[in-house]
Structure formats: structure tokens, C-alpha cells
Amino acid sequence: MRVLIFGATGFAGRYLTRELVQGGHEVWGAARSAEADSGAPHPVPLEVRHLLRCDVADGEQVRDVLAASQPDAVTLLSGLASPPEANRHPEQAFRAHVTGAVNVLGAVSELARAPRVLVVTSSEAYGDSGRDTSPLTEDAPLRPSSIYAASKAAADLAAAAFATSRGCDVVRVRPFNHTGPGQRRDFVCPDFATQVAAIAAGERPPVMSVGNLDVRRDFSDVRDVVRGYAAALLHGRSGEAYNLCAGHGTSVREILGTLCELAGIEPEVRQDQSRYRPAEVPGSAAKAERELGWRPQVPWRQTLADLLAWCRSGEGNR
């Protein structure tokens, strides 16, 4: 099967490309830059058959890329990965997530041989629903409480509408927090791992700058999450949404403690109010396990060890 990935050069995009190639599929990539190494350092080389330049907010570019690649399936992964970045740039977030989704789904719906589309949104779309329901299931209403969450919720709803009104073969996935080697430093796990690696190497004073350590979030390994993407693309029911998550919360304090233990350091910890983010409700992946045969496999300690090793190598600090 030929799969076109919008956002192939990103953090999860490279892992998904590897997952699909190892599964025997032909992968084409599309990204705003046609240079594979134009973004942040990443441990996974990009092994797409062709990498095409495409801004998903430009409908004509989207149609051109679909015409050139003639895919059997499409995955929409492009956009702003960082919630704080999206919250600072609302117009950019809605262009990438909502206009991008509408452009891809609209172009696909007009093709004589329409491919299946996997739309990757986010658990953040649930927003305030976590006050009423725990763990969060796919039936929980979308009540976004930030710009990032609202843009992802709108893309999710657009995908559902195209499935219903135009008969598009669309599957949605709602990943919860995930991390691993190659993730940018504006996420808590690579931020901590980078600081820990520098302290262990004697490159900075033994002082950690952190936010609220007592919040709990549902974390998974990116390698598990992209297995879920591939499973949903291949086996998901059209029109359905699937949570991809660990199903339990991990405190930020636990993450810091594990990284420091792995590095053999005992730094001073200083809290910074600017780093605070609210706690999140864990999700339920029962539907993904039941219908896709998916469940997390990588032990969380192994995830953090691999992330720390990446940061200690120097690549994660560039």
C-alpha cells in the first residue's frame, strides 16, 4: 500500500514512516519544506520514497501532492505540535489544523479513487470534559479550553463531518501525551532530560528549573503511539475515533526522579511559575485494544532511558 504522510518530517512523522516501511508499505512524505533535515535533530532517518513540498493550508498544493503521489491512504500529521506555540499563534494553529484538514479531506472527497484518511488530532480536544469523566473515553464531549485544543477539536469534528456528509473513509486518532528521542525541548520530558544530561556532564550547575511537579498526565512512548496510528490506518472502522494512551497518570515528579536516578545526580530543584501547566485526566484505550489490537508495549522507564541517552549524546541539545 502506498501511504502519503502530511508532516512526515516531524517528530512522530519519522517514527510513523519507519513503522510503515518496516510493515512493507511504500511511503511518500509531504512537508512545508522539501528538505528532510530542515527541522530539529531526530534519531530516525527519513526513508520516504519521495518527499514533496506542501503547505496543507494551501488547497492547490494539497491537490497537486495528491495527484503526484496517487496514494492508497493518507495520514494527516502536519501542524503545530506544541500547545504553547499554538496558543501564541492562533491564526497559524487554525490554518494548519483546521484549514489543513478541510483541504485534505475536501481534495480526497473529489478523487475518483479516494484513499482512506487518518486524521491525527489530540486528547486535548476533550478539555474540560475531564472534570466530569475519568478515564476519558471516545464518547466524552469535546470541550476544548485552549487555542491548541480548539483547533484540534475543530479538525476532529471536520473529519467526522466529511465521513458523514461526503462518505469519506476517515479514521481519527486522539493521542495523549507521548515522548521519546527526537522530541523538541518545549515538552516536559525532553526539557527535563536535557537539563539532567547537562548537569550530569558538568555543563551546567546542579539546579533543575521545573514547573508543577505534582500534576499527573497520561504518558506513552512515541513508538507505541505510531504503532497505534498504523493500526488505525489499516484496521480502524471508518468514521470512528480512537484514544491512544497508557490509561493511567504519571506525575511529573516521578519523571524527574527517574531521569535523575538514571543519570546518577541529585540536583537542587527550583520551581518556575512560567512552566506550570494544568493537570490532565487519563484516557481509556479500551476501544483501541478491542478493535485495533493495540496496547502500549514499551516500558516507561525504557522510554525515559532512551530519551536521556539521546540528550546525553549531544544530538538532543542542538
Taking the C-alpha atoms of residue 175 and residue 218, their distance in angstroms, rounded to an integer, is: 10
Give the per-residue pLDDT at 229. 98
Helix axes 300-312, 188-200, angle to 10 degrees: 50
Give the per-residue pLDDT at 211. 87
Taking the C-alpha atoms of residue 198 and residue 218, their distance in angstroms, rounded to an integer, is: 26
293 or 128, higher pLDDT: 293
Taking the C-alpha atoms of residue 192 and residue 256, their distance in angstroms, rounded to an integer, is: 7
Taking the C-alpha atoms of residue 218 and residue 241, their distance in angstroms, rounded to an integer, is: 18
- 61-70 confidence digits (pLDDT tens): 999 999 999 9
First to last CA, the chain: 36
- 75-125 confidence digits (pLDDT tens): 999 998 888 888 899 999 999 999 999 999 999 999 999 999 999 999 999
Helix axes 100-109, 147-165, angle to 10 degrees: 10
pLDDT band at 271 (very low <50, low <70, confident <90, very high): confident
- Please indicate, yes or no, whether the overall pTM of this predicted structure exceeds 0.75: yes
- Is residue 274 predicted with pLDDT exceeding 70? no
Give the per-residue pLDDT at 133. 73
- 176-207 confidence digits (pLDDT tens): 999 999 999 989 999 999 999 999 999 999 99
DSSP-derived letter for residue 41 is -
- 203-238 confidence digits (pLDDT tens): 999 999 998 898 999 999 999 999 999 999 999 999
Q: Which three cell numbers stand for residue 4?
A: 502519503
CB 291 within 8 A of CB 231: no
DSSP per-residue letters across 3-14: EEEETTTSHHHH
pLDDT band at 4 (very low <50, low <70, confident <90, very high): very high
Query: CATH fold of 2-178+220-244, please?
Result: Rossmann fold (3.40.50)
Among the four given CATH numbers 3.50.50.60, 1.20.120.160, 1.20.1250.20, 3.90.25.10, the one describing domain 179-218+248-282+299-317: 3.90.25.10
Taking the C-alpha atoms of residue 229 and residue 18, their distance in angstroms, rounded to an integer, is: 12
Give the per-residue pLDDT at 36. 54
- 155-175 confidence digits (pLDDT tens): 999 999 999 999 999 999 999
Using CA atoms in the order 90, 95, 167, 114, what is the torsion angle rounded to 10 degrees?
-150
DSSP-derived letter for residue 39 is S
Picking from 135, 107, 113, 132, the residue whose alpha carbon sits closest to that of residue 123 is 135
* Three-state secondary-structure class, residue 135: coil
- Is residue 275 predicted with pLDDT exceeding 70? no
Q: Which three cell numbers stand for residue 24?
A: 512493507
Q: 253 vs 192, 277, 304, CA distance in Å?
A: 11, 14, 13
pLDDT band at 131 (very low <50, low <70, confident <90, very high): confident
Question: So where are the chain's domains?
Answer: 2-178+220-244, 179-218+248-282+299-317
- Is residue 39 predicted with pLDDT exceeding 60? no
Taking the C-alpha atoms of residue 37 and residue 28, their distance in angstroms, rounded to an integer, is: 16
CB 37: neighbour CB atoms within 10 A? 11
Q: Which three cell numbers stand for residue 25?
A: 508499505
Q: What percent of the chain stands above pLDDT 90?
A: 84
pLDDT band at 314 (very low <50, low <70, confident <90, very high): confident
Phi-psi region of 229 (alpha: psi -120 to 50; beta: other; left: phi over 0): alpha
Give the per-residue pLDDT at 234. 97
Q: Scanning the structure block, which residue is given the C-alpha cell 543519570?
A: 263
Give the per-residue pLDDT at 278. 67
The mean pLDDT value of the chain amounts to 93
